[in-house]
Amino acid sequence: MDGYRQVFEAQGAKVSVPTLRHHDTIPGQRAVKALGLTSTLDYAADIEALVRTMREPPVIIGHSMGGLVAQMVATRVPVKALVLLAPSSPWGTLPTTHWEIMSAQGLYLAGQFWNKPLRPEAWIAETHALDLLPPGEREATFARFVPESGLATFEILHWAMDVRRASFVDARKVTCPVLCVAGAYDRVNPPKTVASIARRYRERGEYFEVANASHWLIGEPGWEKTARYVREWVSNVTSPVSA
């Protein structure tokens, strides 16, 4: 989120970029075992605790899984606005592409993945998330990746089997404006799926599709233009309405 942080700080905003639980490891370092059993509920609880320390409701910007966590947090504490960049879907959102279904089934190749840390795979990241980055930048970006929770991944991609419904979001409790942004070429969280997330929030939800963009909306070529759009949208929905 380095780029987005700079864009908003340049506008005078106070920006906090938290690191999710057990993600503060050195890239390439063995993940702590507890990461594998960390839930999206844990991530949401940590961000909720951070928001409760703030003097006023924040604007929360989340990318991919962070976009799902942002929605979960907004059901628990007052939030001024949500910006969901290529967000993962809440519990109950049906996939809209065959690729989403196949990628979820492909996780079983990792064995009993739901209770262990999942190492990032270069070929997956570089062909489906970082595919629009120039080759050198692609490798450099992947080098910063760290393992992810198998349990959280299960809760997102296999929500129908999750009896706890961990990733459930009651859209009625999200009362702030919500911007859902999708890359036109994103296969991880494709446009039709992201658009369906926006529709969950009815008149509060807005959908924006970025042409010639993929999943890495936070750093692929053209991200600056998307960030400016987001900045202007945030300014519009959070500015006081004159009488």
Residue 125, Cα to own-chain centre: how many angstroms? 15
Handedness of CA 172, 95, 152, 85 (dihedral sign): negative
Q: Are 168 and 92 in contact (CB under 8 A)?
A: yes
The pLDDT > 70 percentage for the chain reads 98
Q: How far is CA 112 from CA 73, 80, 107, 160, in A?
A: 29, 39, 9, 17
Q: Rounded to the nearest 10 degrees, what angle do helices 40-52 and 65-74 cross at?
A: 60
Residue 243 pLDDT: 44
Instruction: Return mean pLDDT, the chain.
Output: 94
Helix (H, G, I), strand (E, B) or coil at 218: coil
Count Cβ atoms within 10 A of the Cβ of residue 24 and give its class: 0-12 exposed, 13-18 middle, 19 or more buried: exposed
Residue 31 pLDDT: 82
Closest CA to 12 of 235, 227, 240, 178: 235
At 139, the pLDDT band (50, 70, 90 cuts) reads very high
d(CA 173, CA 122): 38
Q: Quick: pLDDT tens for 57-68.
A: 999 999 999 999
d(CA 98, CA 87): 18
Highest-scoring range by mean pLDDT, 23-32, 72-81, 234-243: 72-81
Give the start-to-end residue ranges of the domains of the chain. Answer: 2-236
The owner of tokens 């999708």 is 182
Q: How far is CA 90 from CA 12, 110, 177, 187, in A?
A: 32, 23, 17, 17
The CATH H-level superfamily of 2-236 is: Alpha/Beta hydrolase fold, catalytic domain (3.40.50.1820)
Q: Quick: pLDDT tens for 189-215.
A: 999 999 999 999 999 999 999 999 999
Residue 241 pLDDT: 56
Q: Long-range contact list for 103-108, CB < 8 A, 24+ apart? A: 103/157, 103/188, 104/157, 104/158, 107/153, 107/154, 107/157, 107/158
Q: Are 155 and 40 in contact (CB under 8 A)?
A: yes
Q: Quick: pLDDT tens for 156-192.
A: 999 999 999 999 999 999 999 999 999 999 999 999 9
Q: Quick: pLDDT tens for 43-99.
A: 999 999 999 999 999 999 999 999 999 999 999 999 999 999 999 999 999 999 999
Q: Is the pLDDT of residue 36 over 80?
A: yes
Beta-strand relationship, 148-149 and 117-118: antiparallel
Helix (H, G, I), strand (E, B) or coil at 188: coil
